[in-house]
Amino acid sequence: MQEVESIKEFGGFLKRYTHQSAVNNCEMVFSVYMPPQAEKSKVPSLYWLSGLTCTDDNVRTKAGMQRIAAKLGMAIIMPDTSPRGDNVVDYPNRYDLGKGAGFYVDATESPFYKHYNMYSYIVHELPSIIEDNFAVIKGVKSISGHSMGGHGALICALKNKGAYKSVSAFSPICNPTKCDWGRTCLATYLGADEKQWLQYDATALIENGASVNEILIDQGTADEFLEKQLYPQNLADVCAKKEVTLNLRMQEGYDHSYHFISSFIEEHLLYHSRYLES
């Protein structure tokens, strides 16, 4: 692991690292914000999973999370959204497949299974690296994300009950087996058998018995992807049916951008903080 950048912000440090990923079989990049409190004692962590086309840079530049993390004493872990590098298969003309679109699954199809293993990277490899190298409290972590990363946050929490103290999402892809973004990635990385896709679909996971203590979701009503890609109502329906606590907040007039995220990110960090501190 190599530190490639360190920037003071809100009294703490925003740092960027490169490292060789065993599960993705390539060099990966991630950013970490360590709040000032971490200089004296270990702090809890929030993992933020970003959306299609993003790297670790979007959230650290645009979301305004560092201010709140510095106040609450919370580390923010900001991974990339896919494997990277010349050896990794890509679709340069597609924003919704290949690099920048790892979809937080472990691929089974050739040649993707060699590199596209973002699920194991997020759930196992990265937390192990973070807990070994930073002043974070082991096992005290929560997860959130945006769009494809909101999907990622939901499935990581649902598939690993207890591993995350809390989960939230902005504009998540709630039912990826039913929308183009999801079907394209799932078919490519997992193959044609749609049954295999269900293990990476939050709505299907809950239908099949998965649960968490609570889910907080903010969704803009003016989101250009709401109707055809996100399906929060499907998640709401299955949560009601299975008695999973969902706080789905439809935010009037907000779009899919980081301007929307920045408007409500403080409430998400306060929500996670309550679970992380308890």
Binding-site ranges for a copy of itself (CB under 8 A): 7-11, 14, 61-62, 64, 66-67, 220, 222, 253-255, 257-260, 262-263
Contact 263, 65 (CB under 8 A): no
- Give the nearer residue to a copy of itself in terms of CB position, either 189 or 254: 254
* Choice among 147, 168, 171, 273 that is catalytic: 147
Task: For the CB of residue 67, give the shortest distance to a copy of itself in the complex, in Å.
Answer: 7
Q: Which of 154, 161, 165 is nearest to 248 (CA)?
A: 154
User: Is residue 256 annotated as part of the catalytic site, yes or no?
Assistant: yes
Tokens of 187: 């078919």
Task: For the CB of residue 275, give the shortest distance to a copy of itself in the complex, in Å.
Answer: 24
* Choice among 115, 146, 151, 256 that is catalytic: 256
**How far, in Å, CA of 122 to CA of 240, rounded?**
28
User: Is residue 201 annotated as part of the catalytic site, yes or no?
Assistant: no
User: Is residue 223 annotated as part of the catalytic site, yes or no?
Assistant: yes
**How far, in Å, CA of 47 to CA of 142, rounded?**
6
- Give the nearer residue to a copy of itself in terms of CB position, either 53 or 184: 53
Task: For the CB of residue 10, give the shortest distance to a copy of itself in the complex, in Å.
Answer: 5
* Choice among 45, 82, 223, 272 that is catalytic: 223
- Give the nearer residue to a copy of itself in terms of CB position, either 112 or 170: 170
Task: For the CB of residue 254, give the shortest distance to a copy of itself in the complex, in Å.
Answer: 5
- Give the nearer residue to a copy of itself in terms of CB position, either 8 or 195: 8
Task: For the CB of residue 84, give the shortest distance to a copy of itself in the complex, in Å.
Answer: 23
> For the sheet containing 43-49, what is the strand order?
2-9, 12-21, 26-34, 75-79, 43-49, 136-145, 167-170, 215-220, 246-251
- Give the nearer residue to a copy of itself in terms of CB position, either 66 or 166: 66
Residues designated as active site: 147, 223, 256
